[in-house]
Amino acid sequence: MLSDITIGQFFPGKSIVHRLDPRAKILLVIAFIILLFVVRNPVSFVLIGIFLAVIYIVAKIPARAIWRGVKPILPLILFTSILNLFFVDGEPLVKWWIFKITAEGISVAVLMAVRIVCLIIGSLLLTYTTSPIALTDAIERLLKPLKVIRFPVHEMAMMMTIALRFIPTLLEETDKIMSAQKARGADLETGSIIRRAKALIPILIPLFVSAFRRAEDLALAMECRCYRGGEGRTRMKQLHFSHLDGISAVATGVVFVAAVLLDVFLPKII
């Protein structure tokens, strides 16, 4: 069923990771991504792996969730690895026709694969432990300085919030319309590509009609409650940095610095 697609992958919880300020989490994830592309040493990656594992355990996210997040990008990982495998210069280990595999190629391929996997697992942590609404809230706050150059920060954030709010609703609606048309004998699964594209019309039109209707209703409801953009708007949920954020930032910082130092001082492999 459509609703099995997990877009709001939020795992509600009360762990330390959940309670961190979403802004702190976003900044830490950005730092983490930079770190991933700075270090090259296997020992550093082992440290990073342990670090991730500890956070996942603290946040009580099941291992299944990690696999579910990584699975969809496996083809991408495979693709980059294969490219790296064949197109990195160096002393060839195996040679066949125009293809050659080098030791450097193998290590670069493995490095890239590990990097991407760590990247996904690390950033999933953010969406797994932060509600989408808190996330857009934090993005709005972090991007606030851009208002100076007239970037519509509030409007962007409001659009994101609304989109996130309506994704499950629209999925449910799609499900319902699909069932209704199937009950009228619509065949959505078989036939040529053109036939299948045509079969989408009875689903897309009602879906659009209802999406526009919803949008109108929502606009009306917002207007009735005197919504008039971000100017002078106060918030129900204020974001505050706490000691918890400071402590986790320091702890994370220590791990990151350790990873970089290990990378600098251990003998280079790649």
Partner 1 sequence: MAIIKTEHLTHLYGTGTPFEKAAIRDVNLEIEEGELVGVIGHTGSGKSTLIQHLNGLLKPTSGHIYIDGTDIFESVQILQKTRFKVGLVFQYPEYQLFEETVEKDIAFGPKNLGFTEEQVKEAVSHAMECVGLSDAFRKKSPFELSGGQKRRVAIAGVIAMRPKVLILDEPTAGLDPKGRDTILNLISDYHRAEKNTVLLVSHSMEDVAKYCSKVLVMNQGHVFSYGTVAETFSRADEIEQIGLAVPQVTRLFSALAKEGYEAGEEVYTIVRAKEILLEKFLQKGGA
Residues that bind partner 1 (CB under 8 A): 173, 176-177, 179-187, 201-202, 205-206, 209-210
Give the shortest CB-136-to-partner 1 separation in angstroms.
24
Of residues 192 and 238, the one with the C-beta less far from partner 1:
192
Of residues 149 and 183, the one with the C-beta less far from partner 1:
183
Of residues 141 and 176, the one with the C-beta less far from partner 1:
176
Give the shortest CB-175-to-partner 1 separation in angstroms.
10
Say if CB 122 and CB 33 are below 8 A apart. yes
For every residue of 113-166, DSSP letters joined together read: HHHHHHHHHHHHHHHHHS-HHHHHHHHHHHHGGGGGGT--HHHHHHHHHHHHHH
Q: Which H helix or E strand runs over 80?
A: helix 74-87
Q: What's the CA gap between 256 and 47, in Å, rounded?
A: 9
Q: What's the CA gap between 92 and 60, in Å, rounded?
A: 45
Give the shortest CB-68-to-partner 1 separation in angstroms.
12
Place of tokens 């989490």: 25
Of residues 3 and 242, the one with the C-beta less far from partner 1:
3
Q: Which H helix or E strand runs over 92?
A: strand 92-96
Can you say how many angstroms the Cα of residue 200 is from the centroid of all Cα atoms in its chain?
29
Give the shortest CB-225-to-partner 1 separation in angstroms.
24
Q: What's the CA gap between 214 and 211, in Å, rounded?
A: 5
Give the shortest CB-230-to-partner 1 separation in angstroms.
34
Of residues 40 and 176, the one with the C-beta less far from partner 1:
176
Going by C-beta distance under 8 Å and a sequence separation of 6 or more, which residues neighbour residue 248?
16, 20, 24, 28
Report helix, strand or coil for 39.
coil
Give the shortest CB-78-to-partner 1 separation in angstroms.
27
Residue closest to 48 by CA, chosen among 269, 261, 265, 258: 258
Give the shortest CB-166-to-partner 1 separation in angstroms.
16
Of residues 213 and 233, the one with the C-beta less far from partner 1:
213
Of residues 155 and 187, the one with the C-beta less far from partner 1:
187
